[in-house]
Amino acid sequence: MKIAFVDNLQVGGGLSRFSLLLCKSLIEKDNTIQIDYFIHSQNLKLVPELLGIKNVNVIVLKSTLPFGFLEKVGFKLKTILGIKHSENPVIAEIEKVVDQKYDLAYFPSAHMMERPTLKIPIVGTLHDFNWKYFFGRQIFSKSFVQKMDTEIVKWMNGGYNVCSAQDVVDEARKLYPGMKNYPEVVHIAPVIFNSEISESRSKEILKALNITYPYIIFPGNFFPHKNHLNLFTAFYLLKQKDAFKQYKLLLTGMNSDQVPLAKAEYRGIRLVSETNGHEEFDIMGLGYQTNECIDVLIANAQLLVSPSIYEAICTPAMDAWNFGVPTAISDIPPFREHEKAWGIHSVFFDPMNPKDMAEKIENALTDYENTKANGKLSREKMLNYSWEKVTEGYLTIFKKAIDKK
């Protein structure tokens, strides 16, 4: 089977790691598979590990490369003169280079893009419908939402698609009734790049970051649905108690370095000047971290939290369970689905109630022996669900699409 794996949207975090691990697992499952991995130029910087996978030919999409000087000038002139820019150049390139010579084209970020017109079978992963909701700040333009309302129908009526939770299927049925094909559920495994990092290497990384204290970690970009504000208030309430004054809250993910050092307050956080060595900090934003570094940070946390109010799955918690690290996460349907799918044990809190969040985190840290036991039990459960099983599910759907064509 020859697959065009098309990672054309500029993404990061769990989505980049998901794409990397699915690609790697497909090759490991069946060494007769050949993959041409078409990738956005910026994504390759986040997952350079792709370059070392046998039977995978990495091709950077030319339309995603930064504009040269003349291209920038031309683009600006068209804008000034009111000349309409051509259609999406990335989609145009995909339609030109990804066709006929492949058995199938797979799109790991289908939920956020146009459906290309190809003569070969197409399968996409519809991760969620985040763009359909508004969480207090505009992330997606009205024009994008209107466009995706049309494109998502094309994806579901045009062939087979995959998602990672039954909750996504329920969302699709609610938002788009009467479609020909709703996505099929294939639960994914933890998006851990290296689960066997040595203790000496872990210590080296933590030392480089000057982390010598117990910490709680939240890996998540600074989008409003990640619900940082309620987490900050909850952490402030927690820190009012003497037993928890030594704890820090570490933030990772895109733009989290906007708050390099901060004090937790009831209505948000207050930035702490790095030049003022007399003021203690509660929260540190580390920004986007390498695959190895984020694995070390999660594996050495006392607790991983995820206060999100909308997601398809909780990949940070899955990564934590892989290491046996306990979690405290939002009580929302897709997160509860992890209990049903794998039998994990986690603390659940109301993400819209900082007091409840603080109390649940406090209880987890106070009864830490039991909390650690839940983390270890969750690890045992997660070990039963590997990327090999994920790949089996995806290959089944790939073969359906090819056979139907």
Q: Model-level pTM? A: 0.86
Closest by CA position to 11, among listed 36, 47, 37:
47
175 with 303, same domain: the answer is: no
Judge whether 13 lies within some domain: yes
- Supply 360's token pair: 């649940």
| pLDDT bracket for residue 85 (50, 70, 90) | very low
Q: Within 10 Å of residue 196's Cβ, how many Cβ atoms?
A: 7
- Supply 4's token pair: 């065009």
Judge whether 175 lies within some domain: yes
Q: What integer is the mean pLDDT of 368-373?
A: 96
Domain with 292, as residue range(s), is: 199-383
Q: In which residue are the tokens 């997160």 written?
A: 335
The sign of the CA dihedral 8, 17, 364, 373 is positive
216 with 137, same domain: the answer is: no
pLDDT at 275: 59
204 with 104, same domain: the answer is: no
Q: How far apart are CA 207 and CA 88, in angstroms?
A: 45
Judge whether 46 lies within some domain: yes
Judge whether 236 lies within some domain: yes
Identify the burial level of 199 via C-beta atoms within 10 angstroms of its C-beta, where 0-12 means exposed, 13-18 middle and 19 or more buried.
exposed
210 with 73, same domain: the answer is: no
pLDDT at 277: 55
Judge whether 81 lies within some domain: yes
- Please enumerate in sequence order all residues whose Cβ is within 8 A of that of 111, keeping only pairs 6 or more positions apart, or say none: 124, 125, 126, 127, 128, 129, 152, 155
256 with 360, same domain: the answer is: yes
pLDDT at 9: 87
Judge whether 194 lies within some domain: no
180 with 312, same domain: the answer is: no
272 with 398, same domain: the answer is: no
pLDDT in tens, 123-164: 999 999 999 999 988 889 999 999 999 999 999 999 999 999
316 with 266, same domain: the answer is: yes
Q: How large a percentage of the chain has pLDDT more than 70?
A: 92
Q: How large a percentage of the chain has pLDDT more than 90?
A: 74
237 with 336, same domain: the answer is: yes
* 197: pLDDT strictly greater than 80: yes
Q: Is 152 helix (H, G, I), strand (E, B) or coil?
A: helix
212 with 157, same domain: the answer is: no
- Please enumerate in sequence order all residues whose Cβ is within 8 A of that of 105, keeping only pairs 6 or more positions apart, or say none: 3, 4, 6, 98, 99, 116, 118, 120, 121, 122, 123
pLDDT in tens, 100-116: 889 999 999 999 999 99
CATH number of 324's domain = 3.40.50.2000
pLDDT at 43: 85
What is each CA distance from 337 to 188, 233, 345, 352, 383, in whole angstroms? 12, 27, 12, 19, 17
- Supply 364's token pair: 């987890």
Residue 3 CB-half CA count within 13 A: 30
224 with 126, same domain: the answer is: no
180 with 251, same domain: the answer is: no
pLDDT in tens, 252-263: 998 899 999 999
Determine contact, residues 249/278, Cβ cutoff 8 Å: no
Number of domains in the chain: 2
Judge whether 164 lies within some domain: yes
What phi, psi does 334 have (nearest 5°)? -65, -30
* 118: pLDDT strictly greater than 60: yes
Q: How far apart are CA 41 and CA 67, in angstroms?
A: 12
Q: Which residues pair with 57 in a beta bridge?
A: 36
